[in-house]
A = this chain, B = another copy of it.
Amino acid sequence: MNEKFFDLKKEKQNRMINAGLRIFSLNGYRHASTDEIVKEAKISKGLLFHYFGSKAGYYAFLYDYISRFTILELTSEIRDPSIDYFDLEEKILTVESRLMDQYPFIFLFLESIKLEDDGEGLSVLSEPAKNVFDYYEEILDQADISDYIRLRDTREISALLHYVKIGIMRELLRDRGIPVSDYTRKIRSHLNVLKHLARNL
């Protein structure tokens, strides 16, 4: 069913993907209205169902596609994660930044799925080959933390960083037209503070 979708013009594909990421992120599965989605994507109501069969099918497609895409990008950019922990976090941020250039709501969407509580929405999310968040854990665990000998758990910093990222995304993305570079700059600043603290533990 979804194969046909990839025959569309890339620009239209992106419109249809971004509309879903935005509306689902901001409203959750149940409250995300297909009317709002098609308006955002500038397509007709019927077309959404032509390509995805149902709201649930569309949701499932987005999750699957976005999960794969994110992991693919991370994998191809970060071949060797066994570098200094904070260098790795910077590298990840660079990749994320590029992903958000194409799909601004990509991470808020993935985050929103963790909080999803609607039965119908959840039931269609096929466990992807690899869960994005598991993947993050995986590569972060391979980081070299020898320079931060007194740092018991870099995972705590990773988690903290995650919450900071999500919080700032929420603040910035709600308003349209704010460039991703604003986001990146803010996060990089927080990252530097954390790095500094970690060295003094």
Contact = CB atoms under 8 A, between A and B. Distances in A.
**4 A-B pairs closest in CB distance:** A115-B115, A28-B117, A30-B31, A31-B118
A27 interface: yes
Integer count of this chain's copies in the complex: 4
A152 B30 CA distance: 42
A1 B30 CA distance: 26
A108 to B, nearest CB: 10
Contacts of A30: 28, 30-31
11 contacts: A26-B117, A27-B117, A27-B119, A28-B28, A28-B30, A28-B117, A30-B30, A31-B117, A31-B118, A112-B117, A152-B152
Interface residues of A, number: 12
A115 B30 CA distance: 14
A66 B26 CA distance: 27
A156 B155 CA distance: 11
A120 to B, nearest CB: 9
A118 B28 contact: yes
Interface string A1-38: 00000000000000000000000001110110000000
A112 B117 CA distance: 9
B115 A27 contact: no
A117 B115 contact: yes
